[in-house]
Structure 1
Amino acid sequence: MPFGLSETTVRTIHTIFQQHPAIDQVIIYGSRAKGNYKQGSDIDLTLIGDALTHDDLLQIMHEINESSIPYLVDLSIFHDISDPAVREHIQRRGCVFYQKIT
């Protein structure tokens, strides 16, 4: 179970991401990437893609919230993160969660 997530949860999230061609990559960070998560920990994900917009983020969040995923998902677009400490943490400790197949 990568990042403490079931295969079903990972597959569900990947299926949502595959429907959005503007997503090039998704990085997981926070407790799930560090390995110190608890059973109910949220899933921190940041989307990477030059063409991603706020509307894309809202649509993807809606699709995740409507899915059967039993966790809170904290979703962001990496190029919109203004806090340098958060950006540095993601770059240093984040792990690839999804990669678009080209």
Structure 2
Amino acid sequence: MKYGLDDTTIARIYGVIARYGQVDKAILYGSRAKGNYRAGSDIDLTLVGSHDLNLTVLYRIMDDIDDLLLPYTFDISLLHSISDPDVLDHIKRVGKVFYEKTQTNQFV
């Protein structure tokens, strides 16, 4: 189980993100990226993408992920909107690429 998530869960989250062409990459950070997660740990993702990756798209992604009815809390952000230098440093140090747009869109 990668990041404490089964393959089906990862594929379902990945499938939502892949539907949005504005997203080039999703970076997992926090306890799941560090490996010290617990059963109830949330899923921290920040999105990187084109200039039209905005709050409207973010809210749609969040709604679609919520519709999956997964037993996790999600914290999803846009990387270009994060202003806290400590959070940015944390993402740079421990972040793992969860999704990256490719020709085949297979999850990483």
Q: TM-score range by the shorter chain?
A: over 0.9
For the residue of structure 1 that corresponds to 2:23, the secondary structure is coil
TM-score by length of 2: 0.91
SS at match of 1:37: coil
RMSD: 0.8
Kindly provide the amino acid, as one letter, of the partner of residue 31 in structure 2. S
Please state how far the C-alpha of 1:69 moved relative to its aligned partner. Answer: 1.7
Letter of the structure 2 residue corresponding to residue 35 of structure 1: G
More helix by share: 1
Distance in 2 of aligned mates of 1:30 and 1:94: 8
What are the ranges of 5 or more consecutive residues in structure 1 without an aligned counterpart? none
Tell me which residue corresponds to 2:106.
none
The one-letter code sitting in structure 2 at the alignment partner of 1:20 is Y
Q: TM-score, normalised by structure 1?
A: 0.96
Q: Residue 12 of structure 1 contacts residue 69 of structure 1 at CA under 8 Å; is this kept in 2?
A: no
Q: Secondary structure at the match of 2:13?
A: helix
Count of residues paired in the alignment: 102
Q: Structure 2 unaligned runs (5+)?
A: 104-108
